[in-house]
Amino acid sequence: MKRLVLAAAALLALAALAGVIGRPEGAGAADPPATDRTVTVTGVGAVRSTPDRAEMSFGVESHAPTAQAALAANAAAMRRLLDALRDAGIGELQTQSVSVWPRWAEQGRTDGYVATNTVSGVTAVGRAGAAIDAAVGAGANQIYGPSLTSDDARKLYEQALEAAVKDARARAQTLAGAAGGTLGRVLTIAESSAPPMPLVEKAAASDAGTPIVPGQQETAATVTVTFALA
């Protein structure tokens, strides 16, 4: 009986060895995952609009023999300017800077002092020219702007983003077809943007004061999208 058991064990070992030797190379190992095919494109979208918001800065510069006198004169002039700006429909008034410094003459002598005060504000584009005239009439001798924007800037950018995604999909479909594949799901998407760009001019804002031309602006968005490729 012992001999029969040993013989059976030997036969099993030989069978196992034969199976290993006769197996094709690599058989039974997990096949390596197929490399995912993808296509990455950049889509661009843009929306045109006419700006309706004018942001400006107004300042007063005053001169006096002493720093205290220059600052006092400037404060009085600035109060008159602020009243005129409010009457002209300028909103969101905010102080930007207040400065006092000596004015130097020849040979390093002090020739009095200079005081300035600058505020920023916002108004409708159609009222910007009249606001500038009112500011100058009230004593403003420094004016910067206008910077023209749109109240619905966020909505315009969202529209540009939607257009950019559609553009990216159209580009990707063209590339997929040219490569003999079909477009799959979105794998990654990233956005980038730029400040609104002025375009062609339009008629000046309709007021009797300083003419302001709103023109048109282009709000653009760019997205980079990676699609699966089947």
pLDDT tens, residue by residue, 77-109 = 999 999 999 999 999 999 999 999 999 988 778
- Please report, rounded to a whole number, the percentage of residues in the chain having pLDDT higher than 90: 63
Q: Is residue 72 scored above 90 in pLDDT?
A: yes
Mean pLDDT of 60-88: 97
CATH 3.30.110.170 fits 38-50+152-229, yes or no: yes
Q: Return the structure tokens found at 212.
A: 């302001």
At 138-169, the pLDDT tens digits run: 999 999 999 998 988 899 999 999 999 999 99
Cβ 220 vs Cβ 162: under 8 Å: no
Rg, C-alpha atoms of the chain: 37
Domain boundaries, the chain: 38-50+152-229, 53-149
Mean pLDDT of 211-220: 87
Cβ 189 vs Cβ 230: under 8 Å: no
> How far does CA 139 lie from the centroid of its chain?
36
| pLDDT value of position 208 | 55
Mean pLDDT of the residues in the chain: 83
When comparing pLDDT for 225 and 3, which is higher? 225
Q: Residue 113: pLDDT band by 50, 70, 90 thresholds?
A: very high
53-149 shares the fold of 38-50+152-229? no
Distance CA 207, CA 2 (A): 118
At 167-203, the pLDDT tens digits run: 999 999 999 999 989 999 999 999 987 666 666 554 4
Q: What is the pTM of this model?
A: 0.65
CATH 2.40.50.140 fits 53-149, yes or no: no
